[in-house]
Amino acid sequence: MSELSLSQGPSCLATNDWICGEYLRSRAQELTDATVQHVWITVVSVLIGLAVAFPLALLARRGKHFAGPVLGLTTILYTVPSLAMFSLLLPLFGLSSALVITGLVLYSLTILVRNILAGLEAVPEEAREAARGMGYGPARMLWEVELPLALPALMAGVRIATVSTVALTTVGAIVGRGGLGNLIEDALPTFFKAQVLAASVLCVLLALVADLLLLGVQRLLTPWTRVQRARREPLSARIRKTSAAVEAG
C-alpha cells in the first residue's frame, strides 16, 4: 500500500495546486452551501431594491425638483465604499444577513432608479395620447401602457444591478455573510489556491447565468421589441397588442 501511494505522488491538496479535483470532491457540500447563500442574498437584495426603486423613479418623474434629490441621493449612496457602508449600518443591524442585504439594496438603487426613469421617459407621447383616447386613467396607463413599453430599459437595469450585486455580495464576508466571499476570505491567509479559484469561478458563473436568465425573461416579457415585427406594425397596433397581452396575462 505504501509503495502504491508513493507511486501516485502527493495529492493536489498537499501541493496546493490551483486546479484540484480532490478539493471539489471533499468540499462539495461547503461549496454548495456558500453558493446557495450567495444566490439567496443576491435575489433578495435585487427584489427589495426593485421594490424601493420603482416608487422613487415615479417620484423623480414628477419634475426636476424631485428628480434632483432622488438621483443625487442614490448616486451619493453608490459612491460610499462598501466597508464604510457596512460600518455605518452595523449599529442598526448587527452582524447579520440584513446588514449585507441593506447595503446591497442601497447600492442597487442608483442603477435601478435611473433605468426605470429612463424607460418611462422614453415612452412615446403618442402612446400616452392613444391610451387617453381609449379612456385610460393615470394608474391604468402606467401599468398597461407605460410600464410594458419601459420594460426593456427596466430589465436592462435589473440585469446590471444583479451582476453588480453578485460581485458585491462577496464583500459581506467581512461579517460572515458573503456567500462565496466567505470561502475566498478564509483561503487568503494560507493562500489556499484551489479554494480561491473555485469560489472565484463560481462567482463569475453565477453572474453569467443570472444575466442570461434575466435576458431570457426580458425577451419573454417584451416580444414586441423584435425589430422586424416592430418595423411592420404601426405604433397604435403595438399599443393595442401590449394592452391586450397585459389584460390576458
Report how far apart, in Å, the C-alpha atoms of 247 and of each of 120, 143, 221 are: 20, 10, 13
Q: Given pLDDT bands bounded at 50, 70 and 90, which one contains residue 42?
A: very high
Residue 223 lies in a domain: yes
The rounded mean pLDDT for the chain is 84
Name the more confident of 190 and 70.
70
Alpha carbon distance 43, 31 (integer Å): 18
Q: What is the pLDDT of residue 166?
A: 94
Confidence of residue 18 (pLDDT cuts 50, 70, 90): confident
Q: pLDDT at residue 73 above 50?
A: yes
Residue 2 resides in a domain: no
Closest CA to 114 of 74, 78, 82: 74
Q: Read off the pLDDT of each residue in 135-155 and give the average, rounded to a whole number.
A: 86
CA distance 56 to 151: 16
175/229: higher pLDDT = 175
- Could you read off the pLDDT of 184-237 as tens digits, one per residue? 988 888 888 888 999 999 999 999 999 999 999 988 887 766 654 545 556 556
In this prediction, residue 50 carries a pLDDT of 95
**Apex 109 CA angle, 108 and 113, nearest 5:** 125
DSSP 8-state symbol, 62: T
Min mean pLDDT across 7-16, 102-111, 146-155, 162-171 is at 7-16
For the chain, how many structural domains are there in total? 1
Does residue 169 contact residue 42 with C-beta atoms inside 8 Å?
A: yes
Q: Is residue 144 assigned to a domain?
A: yes
Q: Does 246 score more than 60 pLDDT? A: no
In a domain, 5, yes or no: no
Range of the domain at 32: 28-248
Report pLDDT digits (tens) over 116-133. Answer: 999 988 888 888 888 888
pLDDT at 28: 87
* Average pLDDT for 89-97: 86
Supply the pLDDT for residue 3.
43
How confident is the model over 57-72, as a mean pLDDT? 88
Supply the DSSP string of 184-232, one letter for each residue: HHHHTTTT-HHHHHHHHHHHHHHHHHHHHHHHHHHHHH-GGG-HHHHHH
Residue 12 lies in a domain: no
Residue 82 lies in a domain: yes
> In this predicted structure, what is the pLDDT of residue 115?
94
In a domain, 16, yes or no: no
CATH number of residue 44's parent domain: 1.10.3720.10
Q: Is residue 84 part of a domain?
A: yes
